[in-house]
A = this chain, B = another copy of it.
């Protein structure tokens, strides 16, 4: 099997703010349902109210209440915006899911929001502050029983915009390679792939050549169907399929690790020609994530 060329370049990543939460439930499936709804409509800051995603499955032997859970990460660029997103997404999408509880995964954070205290007003006076599992929680009576949520949740500095471009002989080879990369990144704690299935089909450039009102437009240099219509295509001659993967993480180190495990995974799929990444010459983002270590 011919291995892909790895371009000697870097992904340019940015500062952001993030919360890291654990959602547990009676069954793995219910925890997943809550995590999915709470992180939906959250692929990109460009047009979504947040970037969010499932971090990983946490087995019952590793959760405070011995139930299965999923950790999620919710990012926004300002602390106030993260607080607002938490209030709406946990209040509307997790409190409403059968049998869930919510725990803070950033216990030693400098900055905290009292999300549990605020959501507890939903109990209309019947809320109780309780100590359980060595934590301070609020107990909110609901139809499902009692909803438990930790009082405080940390909001930390984080890194958004880790990315890789995967170019392959066919659309499907690029797609399966992207799927393999996203699956490998699931093993890196504290990293999410916020796009649908973790994959970006429509990678963009900043701004537009033609429309001033557009903040982001298609990255035409990487569009297979434009290869013969433009003079500056960046695609290898025989590449007919391209996908980007984008990942946000709690630390620069986790983004670097995710990049390396993703590359290793992509190499297992036949038909991939080249791996690259998106950057803006280092002018916009604080972090340069090298593809070749």
Contact = CB atoms under 8 A, between A and B. Distances in A.
A293 interface: no
A86 to B, nearest CB: 11
A195 B96 contact: yes
A34 interface: yes
A111 interface: no
A176 B175 CA distance: 10
Contacts of A170: 168-170, 172-173, 270-271
Interface residues of A, number: 109
Contacts of A219: 143
Contacts of A30: 197
Contacts of A284: none
A270 B171 contact: yes
A192 B129 CA distance: 36
B42 A41 contact: yes
Given A27-B176, A41-B49, A172-B173, A143 B202 contact: yes
Contact of A261 (B60, B140, B178): B60
A142 B47 CA distance: 17
A12 interface: no
A34 B60 CA distance: 26
A208 B121 CA distance: 9
A214 B268 contact: no
Contact of A142 (B121, B223, B261): B223
- Interface centre among A41, A91, A216, by most chain B C-beta atoms within 10 angstroms, is A41
B41 A38 contact: yes
